[in-house]
Structure 1
């Protein structure tokens, strides 16, 4: 998907076709009615001469348009979907339940429809999300000092081996292998884009990664080497601080993180990460931009590798780096998350321009 604004003709065609690929990325203000809509709005389509396209809800409101009552453009896309909304609520009421397709059928839902809706909004199916939620419950039990068997039961796993296998798939080791005398502690923190694992000590954040990131076991292994195997379960004030800052970030209240970071990598890699930290929320850069800023214009590929090796998601904003043509490029947390983060941060960019 390109971040460069498509032409008016392209956007008007998308509006007429109710193209879902633009939903949440572009909005249309209709001068004849004074309202603004999603491009997927079910209402009768306006004449092209009455349409103006905007990148954010904020821009629509600043231009004097009111939100449409049918497509509810000010409501987050996922929560506006009744199928998604009902299942998210059901999942929160029963986080340890082993959800399956028969449960969806009993609720009067078509499993294939649910699967497509969740993949579109979250990049994963509802059943995958439910499995992650169960593992979160088990993780919280362990972080609170509970036994492995208690965590297994809380997470809704019928056998110890299944729980150990599922746990090891995420972090690369079974829960019984964690240290009882840790230097670093691990727990999960929540976000609208899915749960993240946070590894902290009493003063710094060492790792913040999405639970389903494929590189997470390798990153965790590096921290095990750094701590000489002494990573345990638990929370610190730093864990609570990053959770609070993430809450403010996703609520649109603050795009700045103040949690102290422990950057584990080569000198060059750390330099790239520090350069990423200088990119304001609402702005993007290309890999070549970063290389030139660092005084090493020939090191574009090395910059890209360092960007991909980032193990503190969102806070060290590797998602703000795009391809030279403005396209979304590889992101360990999934391109759907990268797109959501960039869309969210557009509001911070609008706030900065307004303040200026």
Structure 2
């Protein structure tokens, strides 16, 4: 919870009262439906235990919620500007559509103007909002498909591999033969929520939920591992969350979590080279290429780093430019700067 927010009791009462004085103060996330609302929403009010509160729409999106279609919290309180209303209606009608800048231009919108409005009003760009909404929609669908699997656990199964027939009915193949299950969830960190995915063999996904290309990474992972995903609990998720907490507290400098990361031989070499970079130090792409065994493969190494699906634990944030500059990072340059500073100060 954000310390600057009013008390939970006060915010819940404001939600019940549809109190307009709290507009802009908090956003309410409804756990049972996966949507977030403004304080004055006219929809049926959730139970106290089914609500969590956020400071902004950005925080609600980052934690897996989708915008309510009743109160439309992605509009500013006094309604969006007239020029933007038709676009917002289009986005609400087609929540999974990937809007490109040229498509906005064809509809008569200035992509930069749309970007500035979202950045000023919600703290994120238009494209970041679309990306997070699609991820949250996909996460919800996976979660809704958990019902059959969860019933299998309740009937006494203690392992994901123990309900082959049930899983086959849900996905079309049996775990352990043509595919397996990836259990996913979200874990909080000081730098924002991360999506985590594990199998019984190891960690296969750990990315910030607002990372660019996360959708593509998930699809590639599912295809390479011949897997389907469910949301749920898993001991390896708990262990990873614990070790990450220790890392962020400056108490851990290395991880002992088994990894199950599919990739080409070259990608595996590149990722192994990343794992050899000591805590609190950095390497250039050229130095990493040298460790891989081909000093000329700088661009190939950079591509492999970009395809790394295990943030922090496979530390691609420790790669910098040859001139010492802080270059690209899938989780965002601001996070890379934070991680490097954190490690330097806690060596």
TM-score for both structures, normalised by structure 1: 0.56
Question: Aligned with 1:183: secondary structure?
Answer: strand
Q: In the alignment, what sits opposite 1:128?
A: 58
Tell me, yes or no, if the aligned pair for 1:291 and 1:299 is still in contact at 8 Å: yes
Tell me, yes or no, if the aligned pair for 1:205 and 1:262 is still in contact at 8 Å: yes
Q: In the alignment, what sits opposite 2:196?
A: 198
| Equivalence map 1:221-260=2 (5 Å) | 221-260=219-258
When residues 228 and 102 of structure 1 are mapped into structure 2, their CA distance, relative to the original with a 3 A threshold, is farther
In 2: Cα distance, 1:323 partner to 1:88 partner: 44
Indicate which of 134, 151, 155 corresponds to 1:169: 134
Question: Aligned with 2:186: secondary structure?
Answer: strand
Consecutive unaligned residues of structure 2, counting only runs of 5 or more, are 27-54, 71-91, 97-129, 150-166, 168-179
Shift, 1:129, TM fit: 1.7
- Once the two structures are superposed, residues 196-238 of structure 1 have per-residue CA deviations (whole angstroms, 9 ceiling, x without a partner) of 0111012300100100011110111012213434211112111
When residues 105 and 188 of structure 1 are mapped into structure 2, their CA distance, relative to the original with a 3 A threshold, is closer
Tell me, yes or no, if the aligned pair for 1:186 and 1:200 is still in contact at 8 Å: yes
Shift, 1:265, TM fit: 1.3
Indicate which of 186, 206, 209 corresponds to 2:207: 209
When residues 236 and 247 of structure 1 are mapped into structure 2, their CA distance, relative to the original with a 3 A threshold, is same
Shift, 1:162, TM fit: 8.4
Indicate which of 310, 322, 325 corresponds to 1:324: 322
In 2: Cα distance, 1:290 partner to 1:89 partner: 50
Tell me, yes or no, if the aligned pair for 2:317 and 2:329 is still in contact at 8 Å: yes
Tell me, yes or no, if the aligned pair for 1:200 and 1:235 is still in contact at 8 Å: no
Indicate which of 258, 275, 280 corresponds to 1:282: 280
Question: Aligned with 1:327: secondary structure?
Answer: coil
Q: Which moved more, 1:171-180 or 1:247-256?
A: 171-180
TM-score for both structures, normalised by structure 2: 0.57
Question: Aligned with 1:86: secondary structure?
Answer: coil
Equivalenced residue count is 226
- Once the two structures are superposed, residues 215-266 of structure 1 have per-residue CA deviations (whole angstroms, 9 ceiling, x without a partner) of 1101110122134342111121110010000000000111111110112211
Tell me, yes or no, if the aligned pair for 1:187 and 1:197 is still in contact at 8 Å: yes
In 1: Cα distance, 2:134 partner to 2:295 partner: 38
Tell me, yes or no, if the aligned pair for 1:157 and 1:163 is still in contact at 8 Å: no
Relative contact order (C-alpha < 8 Å, sep 6+): which is higher?
A: 1
Shift >6 Å, 4+ stretches: 161-164
Q: In the alignment, what sits opposite 1:86?
A: 4
In 1: Cα distance, 2:289 partner to 2:222 partner: 31
Indicate which of 326, 337, 340 corresponds to 2:338: 340
- Once the two structures are superposed, residues 255-296 of structure 1 have per-residue CA deviations (whole angstroms, 9 ceiling, x without a partner) of 111110112211101110001001111000000011122221
Question: Aligned with 1:311: secondary structure?
Answer: coil
Q: CA RMSD in A?
A: 3.5
